[in-house]
Amino acid sequence: MFNIKNLFSGSKQADKAVTEGQESALFTRINQLLADYRSDIFPVGLQQATSLVSVTDGDTIKVELLLHFAASSEQPDIAKFLSDKLGKQVALSVQVNLLEPTRHKNIKHIVLVASGKGGVGKSTSAVNLANALKQNGAKVGILDADIYGPSIPLLLGLEDAKPEAKDDKTLLPMDKNGLATQSIGFLLGKEDATVWRGPMASTALMQLLNETSWPALDYLVVDMPPGTGDIQLTMSQKIPASGAVIVTTPQDLALADAKKGIDMFNKVKVPIVGLIENMSYFHCQHCNGVNHIFGEDGGKDLAQHIAVPLLGQVPLAHRIRQVGEQGEFLSHNADKALVAIYNRAAKLVASHLFYQGSGSNPVEIIITDD
Ligand SMILES: Nc1ncnc2c1ncn2[C@@H]1O[C@H](COP(=O)(O)OP(=O)(O)OP(=O)(O)O)[C@@H](O)[C@H]1O
């Protein structure tokens, strides 16, 4: 195994005469390359969002990278990018390691997923977003706070689950494929919730957040109750959220309600991380046509208008409904295109949260010489 210096020496022997200057030149080169990588996900460069742990030269250059937000699915593309630029094979290992301190108990970021009205696919978006964050290397939990229709137990196939008490004060979350899960639906009968009044409901939901024994999490995704009433307002004020994702469908009615949601979060100063336009179009497998059943680009235009990222345009897809009803997740092989849409949305959310709070994040770069 050869060290970083060999890249400059052109020799397979460790070059004892290599200077500090040469070493730092490669160091700078790799960092410059990282700075130029994919500006859509890494708006001020991947360099600021990573720590280069080690670079070892040999027949291939081995690079170990820490990513400071959930984006590990970029690994093959980063490796190819570096290989192309350096003209040599690169073996890249990527680990996700968020630098931020925990904001709430042992949770680093709480992300509220909200919608101005019911039925637009908020819970479906929350589950797919949470799963995509996990697929990108993060430790993720999901809290179902949708008092009017808690659907996370169904979407995760946990309908009969009853969380156990850890002690007299806290409940253990359920686990679904590594997603720590808590739901108001685990605790209530179907008819119980809707009769709750504002203060009663928001108190209970805050209790559920605070009195669940969450494991160490990078992101907790909260499926909020739909709408912009007292419960939602109180929760938005009380939950120490890093940001909110708004889910809408493209038609005018839904957009008007989405705007109300955005106004609510602006009022309580929760940053809008982005907008998901759900049920954007239907792709007919038989005629290969695309039909914009609920109108075209309404969410995209709204995102542009209020200057927040459009996280994704998710089609109305049989598989999304089907896996949801089966309590399963989209498959990486069978549902590639849909997985890619949620994957990109998750990376944009993670990226936004990182850059939003990263003004003074130190970037530590260590090059080892083994
Ligand atoms: N993109 C999509 N393609 C196909 N079906 C979808 C899509 N998004 C959501 N659905 C389906 O629409 C229904 C409502 O979705 P979901 O429960 O996520 O909405 P919601 O906004 O959370 O609703 P509520 O406000 O009632 O909680 C579900 O049956 C779900 O499977």
ipTM score of the complex?
0.98
Is 141 part of any known ligand binding site?
Answer: no
Is 289 marked as binding a ligand? no
List pLDDT tens digits, range 66-100.
999 999 999 999 999 999 999 989 999 999 999 88
**Beta partners for 220?**
110, 141
- pLDDT on residue 50: 82
Residue 147 CA, chain-centre distance (Å), reads 23
299 in a labelled binding site: no
- How far, in Å, is the centroid of ligand 1 from the Cα of 166? 32
The pLDDT of residue 193? 56
Mutate to test the pocket of ligand 1, among 112, 113, 117, 123 (most ligand atoms within 8 A of CB): 123
- The pTM of this model reads 0.88
Report whether 116 belongs to an annotated binding site.
Answer: yes
CB atoms inside a 10 Å sphere around CB 365: 13
CB-CB contact of 254 with 225 (8 Å): no
CB of 320 closer than 6 A to ligand 1? yes
Q: Annotate 181-209 with b (16+ C-beta within 10 A) or e (fewer).
A: bbbbbbeeeeeebeebeeeebbebbeebb
> Does residue 146 have its Cβ closer than 6 Å to ligand 1?
yes
Which residues share a beta bridge with 56? Answer: 62
- Atom from ligand 1 closest to the CA of residue 321: 31
What per-residue confidence (pLDDT) applies to 131? 97
Cα–Cα distance list, 96 to 50, 71, 155, 316 (Å): 9, 7, 27, 32
Q: Is 85 annotated as a binding residue?
A: no
279 touches ligand 1 (CB under 6 Å) = yes
In this structure, the dihedral spanned by the alpha carbons of residues 251, 257, 258 and 262, taken in order and rounded to 10 degrees, is 160
| CATH 3.40.50.300, applies to 107-329 | yes
Nearest CA to ligand 1 atom 6: 321
- Alpha-carbon distances, residue 264 vs 121, 144, 328 (angstroms): 20, 20, 33
Nearest alpha carbon to residue 249 among 214, 191, 213, 300 = 300
Q: Which residue of 151, 221, 246 sits with most ligand 1 atoms within 8 Å of its CB, as the best mutation to test the pocket?
A: 151
From ligand 1's centre to the CA of 259, what distance in Å? 19
Q: Which of 280, 348, 347, 346 is closest to 313 using CA atoms?
A: 280
Distance CA 322, CA 66 (A): 36
pLDDT at 320: 96
Ligand 1 atom 16: the closest Cα is on which residue? Answer: 121
In angstroms, what is the span from residue 79 Cα to ligand 1's centroid? 37
Cα–Cα distance, 162 to 349 (Å, whole number): 31
Nearest to 180 by CA among 201, 152, 207: 152
**pLDDT given at position 160:** 86
Domain boundaries, the chain: 6-96, 107-329
**Does 73 count as an annotated binding residue?**
no
Which segments of the chain have a pLDDT < 70?
A: 1-25, 39-45, 47, 189-198, 358-370
Q: How far is the CA of 156 from the centre of ligand 1 (A)?
A: 13
Q: Distance (Å, rounded) from C-alpha 53 to C-alpha 18? A: 21
Ligand 1 neighbour 149 (Cβ under 6 A): yes
Query: What are the backbone dihedrals phi and psi of residue 221, each rounded to the nearest 5 degrees, phi first?
Result: -95, 125
Going from the Cα of 70 to the center of ligand 1, the distance in angstroms, rounded, reads 25
C-alpha span between 5 and 22 (Å, rounded) = 7
CATH number for region 6-96: 3.30.1340.30
Ligand 1, atom 25: nearest CA belongs to which residue? Answer: 118
- Tell me, using a 6 A CB cutoff, whether residue 119 lines ligand 1: yes
